Chains A and B, each alone.
Chain A
Amino acid sequence: MATSRRQFIKISAVGAGSLALAGTAFDLAKGSSLLNKISSSGKEEPTRTPTYCEICFWQCAGWVYKDEDGNIQKIVGNDDDQHCNGRFCPRGTGGVGQYNDEDRLKTPLIRTREGDKEAFREASWDEALDYIAGKMRSIAQKHGPECVALFTHGSGGAHFGQMMKAFGSASIAAPSFAQCRGPREVGFLTTFGDIIYSPERIDIRDTRCMVLIGSHLGENMHNGQVQEMSDAIDKGATIITVDPRFSTAAGKSKYWLPIKPATDLALLLSWIHVIIENEWYDKDYVERYTVGFEQLKEHVKTFTPEWAYGITTIDPNVIRETAREMHNAAPSVIVNPGRHVTWYGDDTQRLRAVAILTALLGSWGRRGGYYKPEKLHLPNYPVPPFPEPKRSPIQAYEGKYTLANEVVANGLCDATIPTVDRSCNYKAWIVNGTNLLAAFPNQANTLKAIEALELLVVVDTMPVEITGYADVVLPECTYLERYDMLRNSNHRQPNLALRMPAAEPKYNTKPASWIAQELAGKLGLSAWFPWKNIEEMLDWQLKEMGSSLEEMKRIGVKNFPREADDLYFAPGEEVVFNTTSGKIELYSSDMESAGFEPLPIYTAHEEPPEGYYRLNYGRAPMHTFSRTANNPNLTDLMDENVLWVNPKVAKLWGLETGQYVKLKNQDEKVSTFAIKVRVTERIRWDSVYMVHGFGHNNKKLSRAHGRGINDTEMITRVHIDPVMGGTGMRGNFVTFITDFVKEGKEAEA
């Protein structure tokens, strides 16, 4: 049997104590403004420091409060922040658990090999960064600096991105595009010439009707959106939820459409048909702003509700009635574009249909529909021009995914696996804040890519699975222990938010800003990090905006006046859209010239074989991806995922609530762990459902290990969206294994 070049190593905690102590002494010697606040009695005066949250991408701004012993007690929202309006979600409130988690990565680790035995040894920061710099230099000499790729999700990306660009690589990717929201950005870009942004530019607070398609707000805790949905419910807005599962949002909805999975596009086309046939579209808006209406009308002629009924199982009358609801509410209607929309491989086309419906209802640029967001033009601290990279990341997937407007992370992963037809492969990955083994489907493919690397550096706070494959593991401190770049987000009003440390970094951990700057120094790239420290750089930026670091430490969030007068189009306003035609393209010339269908068409997707059920997955409000599964405060709320099973299916298989089962998918992949069954009427008989992010297999995650099933492990079949490279993950089917050796938590049950 061929042994892997790269054995999975479980992070060792042995001996970390001594190094951690050394780290603390080092920090103390540097001195700290926080430590200065300690009074002679040894008690710290209660303080609050500003931060913005890093538990998810919503990045709500808040205040960190410490008790009189100097311990972080609680984190609450900043009233001036448009992302949270003073109210954090459970994850942000429980963010202190990330700081307190005793399973955190504590000191740098370097992989050592003795014979066929591999282990991590603890290293000083200097040694670890020297090691990385040496390897990066040799890769640059042999293959070119562009053969180093950065995968990042979160605030560290800006710091490591700066280092990468200075080094000569533009291959910087986040799984938030092709594993998540990419199809909607491309779907709207090709229609309206603009994207949705994050937080989404949807005007939920003033909407009269919101349509959720597989988007489970409330379980998906997009803070500002959940808040505004609640306001909209108060004001009597109609909510229409399309979901095979009776989600929390479905429970708040006037209409729940229990759609057959994988048929959403047929429903959308039928709604377009009904709205055009009944002339329920906004005629003035369509005439003034759009092109391709006649082609669209012709295209959807046959997509009657009766046609859609046979596909979606949704009653034709309900299709008509819900279309009328949208029409009645228009233009204050939101057909919600969702966020994680990489489902079946034709996702950009489905989101195109959402965009077309949005245009017909005239809700783009209208109150209660889509507003015009603004962000600040925040200057960057002056640095020399970056070297021109020899290759663009797009060349990694030459000729494919031509309409992707961001780097396709899985494209870079694939281009790491050596093949005869590819001249360049990536030789090194720096992975920051994303557990790629849970983020990318088809784990075998990811491992194959990792196997081919000469260097894998993982920068994280927790011993997530990918750390086990690293050559060097760098422990970054949590967001509560560091500065980061200013949060500069698109919103109703331009705004800035500051994150500053509420506490000194625990153990021998460091902020990403420091790590990137030190590594750049060792690579001879200090010219691109000319600031003494990040405070100096932030203060420079803030002064350019008429503020200062000192002011932001006091207020945390600063909102600025808008440049444009209004959030919405004025009546009759002439608008030039950033599309080829300058109009809203119902018929997309970009799609057509790239060789894709200019108008969305429905294609049937594969259905589960007998005895198998479609694997659907989603979110729980108290967890983010796989990154919170070990957080002591949040696992206290939910410590494992469960498998939703329809009672009819349960009866067939003799399953009962509370029983543990393993799963096997269509490719004979058997889950590593077992999952607890929840028999519930709230799911269709043709699918099962679980929350993503559980089933960790690193024992060093003491609260997360072996709890539930990792849905990503079961997603071995991926339907790639040819338009933008999205990894469609909802085409996998599972069956139950009830006869297995019980170990771990299920044995206790």
Chain B
Amino acid sequence: MRYAMAVDTKKCVGCSDCVVACQTENNVPIGFCRDWIVEVTDGTYPQLEVEIRSERCNHCENSPCVRCCPTGASHYAEGGVVLVTPHKCIGCGACIASCPYDARYPHPDGHVDKCTFCLHNRVEKGLDPACVSVCPTKCMYFGDLDDPNSPVSKVLKTRKYKTLIPEAGTNPQLYFLI
């Protein structure tokens, strides 16, 4: 099993619904977020292009954060989802520094926090992650890459896609449809 997510940059309007839905679903304190919007503009007026992406932890197969965690708090869970066990985390911040995607933040409770793909609170109950289920443009696809019929497998078969900072060698599992 290999959980992954694809985000369709052709449909995402950058409304931030994924951000606020994640915050309310996962009790992320105001002022912090586990996912966020990036907008990249190219060209000069009027020859322009804009790419909008909903970004989060890339749940890398080769995660620098897991490798550098001194206590084992950062670990691979079911389906390759990268999680942090709060009571094992000493808040040293090594993982924050090692993440090429800046996907982690120090939670006010003293541990590091990040996207979980809503593994325990939703996915294990058969639900999509909160961001996927709320998105008004339905621009996000989630599922098991080992299952050829999962939404994410199907969309990656038919669409062109990219990953972010592939040169970091982390083998990210967050795909962007372009």
A interface with B by C-beta (< 8 Å)? 73-77, 87-90, 93-94, 96, 217-219, 221, 223, 226-227, 229-231, 233-234, 246, 248-252, 256, 258, 621-622, 632-634, 636-638, 646-647, 680-685
Contacts and interface: CB of A to CB of B under 8 A. Distances in A.
Nearest to A313: B46
A636 B33 CA distance: 9
Given A248-B50, A621-B16, A683-B45, 20 more contacts: A73-B24, A74-B21, A74-B25, A76-B133, A89-B17, A90-B16, A90-B21, A93-B24, A226-B13, A227-B138, A229-B137, A234-B11, A246-B45, A621-B17, A622-B20, A636-B33, A646-B45, A681-B48, A682-B50, A685-B45
B15 A221 contact: yes
Residue among B27, B49, B50, B52 with most chain A CB within 10 A:
B50
B89 interface: no
B14 A227 contact: no
A646 B49 CA distance: 15
A58 to B, nearest CB: 11
Contacts of B23: 633, 636
A89 B46 contact: no
B136 interface: yes
Residue among A90, A226, A229 with most chain B CB within 10 A:
A90
B10 interface: yes
Nearest to A622: B16
Contacts of B135: 87
Nearest to A247: B50
Contact of A248 (B14, B24, B27, B44): B14
User: 8 tightest CB-CB pairs across the interface, nearest first?
Assistant: A218-B13, A621-B15, A230-B137, A251-B50, A90-B17, A74-B24, A258-B46, A94-B20
The interface size bin for chain B is: 20 to 34
Nearest to B51: A251
B163 to A, nearest CB: 21
Contacts of A226: 13, 15, 136-137
Nearest to B11: A230
A637 B17 CA distance: 9
A96 B24 CA distance: 9
B27 to A, nearest CB: 8
Contacts of B21: 74, 76, 88, 90, 93
A218 B134 contact: no
10 contacts: A74-B25, A87-B136, A88-B136, A90-B19, A233-B10, A234-B11, A251-B48, A633-B20, A637-B20, A682-B50
A110 B20 CA distance: 37
A89 B139 contact: no
B14 A93 contact: no
Contacts, number: 124
Contacts of A234: 11
A244 to B, nearest CB: 10
A90 to B, nearest CB: 4
Contacts of B24: 73-75, 93-94, 96, 633
B48 A246 contact: yes
B11 to A, nearest CB: 5
Residue among A75, A632, A634, A681 with most chain B CB within 10 A:
A681
B43 interface: yes
A226 B135 CA distance: 10
Contacts of A219: 13
B30 A636 contact: yes
Nearest to A67: B27
Contacts of A252: 10-11, 13
Nearest to A73: B24
Residue among B15, B46, B52 with most chain A CB within 10 A:
B15
B149 to A, nearest CB: 19
B41 A682 contact: yes
A258 B17 CA distance: 28
A634 B43 CA distance: 31
Given A230-B138, A246-B48, A682-B45, A93 B13 contact: no
A313 to B, nearest CB: 10
Interface string B136-178: 1111000000000000000000000000000000000000000
Contact of B17 (A88, A229, A646): A88
Interface string B52-69: 100000000000000000
A682 B137 CA distance: 23
Interface in B55-93: none
Contacts of A87: 17, 133-136, 138
B9 to A, nearest CB: 10
Contacts of A683: 45
Contacts of A681: 41, 43-45, 48
Given A233-B10, A622-B15, A256 B137 contact: no
A447 to B, nearest CB: 35
Nearest to A100: B30
A684 B45 CA distance: 7
A745 to B, nearest CB: 16
A249 B15 CA distance: 12
B126 interface: no
Contacts of B108: none
A646 B17 CA distance: 28
Contacts of B25: 74
Nearest to B135: A87
B136 A251 contact: no
Contacts of B27: 73
A412 B24 CA distance: 42
B167 to A, nearest CB: 27
Contacts of A229: 137
Contacts of B50: 246, 248, 251, 682
B15 A89 contact: yes
Contact of B52 (A96, A227, A248, A258): A248
Contacts of A231: 138
Contact of B14 (A94, A621, A633): A621
A251 B25 CA distance: 30
Contacts of A632: 30
A634 B20 CA distance: 8
A96 B48 CA distance: 37
A682 B138 CA distance: 26
Given A621-B13, A637-B19, A682-B50, A89 B45 contact: no
B13 A89 contact: no
A457 B24 CA distance: 35
A75 B17 CA distance: 12
B136 A89 contact: yes
A256 B52 contact: no
A230 B19 contact: no
Given A93-B21, A94-B24, A258 B15 contact: no
A258 B10 CA distance: 20
